[in-house]
């Protein structure tokens, strides 16, 4: 099985991200620190092996790591150096946009 077979969409990380963030994060947009591409996290590439302790989000355009979320040992650790910024719709906007 090659690596592309293990790829998911960022949508599938919404569960673990929901344990950390108040907002629904698959609809949040982020800017890749490597290529500058801007896209919703739900559309990025996700690697989350069935027994992995965490999730690795990679930029769908350049494949660099955007974010790593690990839940282990009673703590969550977020690695965010691959994102220049994150932007989430507030409750009003989230209810109106698709």
Partner 1 sequence: MPGWPGHRAGQHVDVRLTADDGYQAQRSYSIASPPDDRDRVDLTVVRVEDGEVSPYLVDELAEGDQLELRGPIGGHFVWDVETGGPLLLVAGGSGIAPLMAMIRHRVARGSRVPTRLLFSSRSLEEVIYGAELDRLAGRADGLEVFHTLTRSRPGDWTGYARRIDRDMLAEVGFPPEQRPVCMVCGPTTLVEAVAQALVELGHPPERVKTERFGPTGG
- CB 47 → partner 1: shortest distance, Å? 9
For residue 46, give both structure tokens.
């996700």
**Within a 13 Å sphere around the CA of 48, how many CA atoms are in the beta-carbon half?**
22
User: Which residues in the 8-67 window bind partner 1 by CB under 8 A?
Assistant: 8-12, 14-15, 18, 24, 26-27, 39-43, 50
Residue 78 within binding range of partner 1, rule CB under 8 A: no
Sheet holding 54-58, edge to edge: 7-9, 45-47, 54-58, 65-72, 75-79
Binding-site ranges for partner 1 (CB under 8 A): 1, 4-12, 14-15, 18, 24, 26-27, 39-43, 50, 94, 96, 98
């Amino acid at each position: 099985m090659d690596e592309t077979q293990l790829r998911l969409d960022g949508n599938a990380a919404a569960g673990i991200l929901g344990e950390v963030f108040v907002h629904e994060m698959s609809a949040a947009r982020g800017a890749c620190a490597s290529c500058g591409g801007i896209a919703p996290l739900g559309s990025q590439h996700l690697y989350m092996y069935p027994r992995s302790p965490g999730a690795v989000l990679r930029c769908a355009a350049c494949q660099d790591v955007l974010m790593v979320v690990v839940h282990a040992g009673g703590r969550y650790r977020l690695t965010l150096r691959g994102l220049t910024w994150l932007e989430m719709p507030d409750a009003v906007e989230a209810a109106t946009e698709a």
